[in-house]
Amino acid sequence: MHSKVRQGAIGVMASTLLLVLVQHAVGAELPVTVLQSDGLPLPGAVVVAEPATPAPKGRGPLQATMDQRDLAFVPDLLVIRTGTAVDFPNSDKVRHQVYSFSGAKTFKLALYAGREHPPVVFDKPGLVTLGCNIHDGMIGHILVTDSPWFGRTDAKGRLTFPTLPEGSYTVRIWHARIADAPPQLERVIQVGEAHAEPVIFQLARKLKPSMHNHGTDQRWEDY
C-alpha cells in the first residue's frame, strides 16, 4: 500500500515537473531568409530579433575573442551581447595597432604583439568598425546588441531561431556589403504561442564590393 502511494506521489511530481518545463518552453520557431537583389542567398548576414520588452539578462561573464592573423581580423565579424569583454590577441609576426572611432565604442590599443592589452568591454549596442593604424587593409566589425537572439545566415541565406517567446519583435539584418537603406532592413513581427510567419528579406540593390584587402601590406622590413 505504501509503495503504491509513493509511486503515485512520484508520478504526480513527474507530471508537475513536465508541465513546468512545457510552460517554460512555450514559444515559436522563426525562420528568416536573406536574399540578394538577384534572388540568390546571402550567406553570413547577421540577423537579430529584438523583443519589444526587455530581454532576459545573460548569465555569467560575457567574453569573446577577435584574433589577428595573416594581416586580418579573425573572425572579421563578431556579434555579441552588450557588456561582452573582447580580447584582441595578435598572432601575427608583426605588430598591430587596433582602433575604433565608432560611436558605440571608441578605443585604441597601442602598437603591440601577443597579448599586451586587457580585453575591451563593449558596453553600448551598435556597430563598431575596427581598423589597424599600420595596415589599412585590415577591417573588422563588431555588432553589439541587447538581444540574446541573434545569428548569421547559412550558405542558403537562412537562419532559424528555434524558440522565441511569445511577443512582438523587430527583426533586423546587417551585412558589411549591403547597400540598401536601413528602413528596408528591418521588420516588426508578432510571435504567437506556437506560430510565427517566416520572414524573407530580398535586397533591392546589388551588394557593395568587398572592402577587405588581406595580405597585401606585407612590408616586413618596417618591423
Task: Write the DSSP assignment of 189-206 as a string of letters.
Answer: EEE-SS----EEEE-SSP
Model confidence at 36: pLDDT above 50: yes
- Across the chain, mean pLDDT equals 85
Residue 99 DSSP one-character state: E
The confidence band for 219, taking pLDDT boundaries of 50, 70 and 90, is very low
In the numeric block, which cell numbers belong to residue 201? Answer: 528579406
Neighbouring C-alpha atoms within 13 Å toward the C-beta of 91: 11
How high is the pLDDT of residue 24? 42
Q: What is the torsion angle, in degrees rounded to the nearest 10, for the CA atoms of residue 45, residue 26, residue 146 and residue 190?
A: 70
Is 133 buried (19+), middle (13-18) or exposed (0-12) by CB count in 10 A?
Answer: middle
Q: What single-letter DSSP state applies at residue 36?
A: -
Grid cell digits, residue 169? 519583435
> pLDDT exceeding 70 applies to what percent of the chain?
83
> Coil, helix or strand for 8?
helix
**Structure confidence at residue 176 as a pLDDT band (50, 70, 90):** very high
Instruction: Map out the domains of the chain as residue ranges.
Output: 29-212
Instruction: List pLDDT tens digits, range 102-145.
Output: 999 999 999 999 999 999 999 999 999 999 999 999 999 999 99
Spatial neighbors of 65 by CB under 8 A, at least 6 apart, are 86, 87, 88, 89
- pLDDT at 194 exceeding the cut of 80: no
Q: Cα(57)–Cα(77) distance, rounded to whole angstroms?
A: 23
Length of the chain: 223
Query: What is d(CA 222, CA 59) in angstroms, rounded to the nearest whole number?
Result: 45
For the segment 55-114, what is each residue's pLDDT rounded down to a tens digit? 887 777 899 999 999 999 999 999 999 999 999 999 999 999 999 999 999 999 999 999
CATH number of 29-212: 2.60.40.420
| Residue range 158-172: mean pLDDT, rounded | 95
